[in-house]
């Protein structure tokens, strides 16, 4: 008769470790979501500089780093 294969015993460390991973994943995702508008604004200002947008346009949009 064959012996049954022993499976590793689950300990308390397993779910806790998985919980930490999920927590860190959510925390990082939140950071990226918070950063997205800032990156979009920076990208828009860069495009405006590349296309010689007038300084008044930066003022209208409330952006810094206008033509100068």
pLDDT at 55: 93
Give the C-alpha separation, 22 to 20, whole Å: 5
Q: What is the pTM of this model?
A: 0.54
pLDDT at 52: 94
pLDDT at 11: 58
Residues in Cβ contact with 64 at an 8 Å cutoff, skipping those fewer than 6 apart: 45, 58
Average pLDDT per 10 consecutive residues for the chain, totaling 68 residues: 64 55 86 90 94 94 72
pLDDT at 23: 84
Yes or no: say if 44 and 57 are a contact pair by the CB < 8 Å rule. no
């Amino acid at each position: 008769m064959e012996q049954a294969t022993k499976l590793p015993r689950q300990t308390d460390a397993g779910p806790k470790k998985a919980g930490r991973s999920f927590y860190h994943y959510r925390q990082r995702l939140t950071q990226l979501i918070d950063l997205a508008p800032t990156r979009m604004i920076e990208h828009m200002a860069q495009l405006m500089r590349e296309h010689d947008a007038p300084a008044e346009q930066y003022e209208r949009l409330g952006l810094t780093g206008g033509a100068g």
